[in-house]
Amino acid sequence: MLRVGDIAPDFTLVDVHGVEKTLDELLATDPIVLAFFKVSCPTCQLTMPFLERFYSQRQLVYGVSQDDTRATIAFAERYRLTIPMLLDESKRGYPVSNGFGITNVPTLFQVEKDHRISWASAGFVKADLEQLAHMHHAGIFHADDDVPATKHG
């Protein structure tokens, strides 16, 4: 898995609407958070709604689904996600996931405009998500959220 300080590889992925997006296009105005996930992953199902809360305040998150369009759209609808979704499918050999060294999901990276990774987290780590939110003056968790401190993907 790439780490803080590493350079994110260039990529082009298609979103769920069939539109190609490059890393440079995504980074045009702000850093971004890439959230690699799989729809069948219970830890991803826990994590993505919290990332939606962050996305609703700071439109910096892009989901990178390891599933096809249909499954990804159904997942987004089920969990009421408005996060833009990119597809890194098995039929293409997961090129972006492999480029980032993903070994489990969810795995999250903040990528700066110079392609440098400035924050990374694997699995569900509440403290990591709180750190991400704090860096962007946003909130992710509510006082009444009953979530574990960690859950591995």
> Alpha-carbon distance 16 to 43, whole Å?
22
Rounded to 5 degrees, what angle do the CA atoms 21, 38, 112 make?
Answer: 45
For residue range 6-48, what is the model confidence (pLDDT) as tens digits?
Answer: 999 999 999 999 999 999 999 999 999 999 999 999 999 999 9
Mean pLDDT of the chain: 97
For residue range 123-142, what is the model confidence (pLDDT) as tens digits?
Answer: 999 999 999 999 999 999 99
What's the pLDDT at 153?
Answer: 80
H helices of 16-101, in order, are 23-26, 42-57, 69-78, 95-99
> Alpha-carbon distance 130 to 19, whole Å?
32
What's the pLDDT at 34?
Answer: 98
> Alpha-carbon distance 21 to 29, whole Å?
14
Structural domains for the chain: 12-140 (3.40.30.10)
